[in-house]
């Protein structure tokens, strides 16, 4: 099975100058914990965890641009990668989500533990156990 067979295809993105508050609202509206931050290129991602730890907990003004708290150095895979290899990578780097790119280098989707649970609960459970093994889920 390939990553593209289970990934979430609908990806909403945010501009780097969008406010933290606006991106949090977007997450709520689309029921997602991750949004890629893009201009003409991918700059980073913002997660619900980033908002809590880097903004709310630190008292950052939520009208600041999302680029001020986004995560850079994105972990990813390709849509034609073997699913088991992608899950192994998630476990290895202890990430709950991977951005998925197509052969042209464009964002094609997001692979999450939730996507895995929908097709193979055992695989998702093993991945979750390995990801949270050190007690600090990401």
Q: Is the pLDDT of residue 138 over 50?
A: no
- Tens of pLDDT, residue by residue over 73-107, are 888 999 999 998 998 898 888 888 899 999 999 99
Does residue 138 lie in a domain region? no
Higher pLDDT, 61 or 75: 61
Q: What's residue 106's pLDDT? A: 92
Average pLDDT, the chain: 87
Does residue 103 lie in a domain region? yes
Does residue 85 lie in a domain region? yes
Please name which of 50, 40, 35, 51 lies closest in space to residue 112, comparing C-alpha atoms.
35
Please name which of 102, 100, 126, 103 lies closest in space to residue 113, comparing C-alpha atoms.
126
pTM score, two decimals? Answer: 0.80
Residue with tokens 């029921």: 31
Q: What is the CATH number of the domain that holds 91?
A: 3.10.580.10
Does residue 137 lie in a domain region? no
Residue with tokens 């990668």: 81
Domain count within the chain: 1
């Amino acid at each position: 099975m390939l990553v593209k067979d289970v990934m979430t295809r609908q990806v909403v993105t945010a501009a780097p100058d969008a406010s933290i508050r606006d991106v949090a609202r977007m997450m709520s509206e689309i029921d997602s914990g991750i949004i890629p931050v893009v201009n003409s290129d991918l700059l980073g991602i913002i997660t619900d965890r980033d908002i809590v730890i880097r903004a709310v907990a630190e008292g950052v003004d939520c009208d600041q641009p999302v680029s001020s708290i986004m995560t850079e150095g994105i972990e990813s895979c390709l849509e034609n990668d073997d699913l088991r290899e992608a899950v192994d990578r998630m476990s290895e780097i202890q990430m709950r989500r991977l951005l998925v790119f197509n052969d042209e280098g464009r964002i094609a989707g997001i692979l999450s533990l939730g996507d895995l649970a929908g097709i193979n609960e055992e695989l998702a459970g093993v991945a979750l156990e390995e990801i949270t093994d050190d007690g600090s889920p990401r």
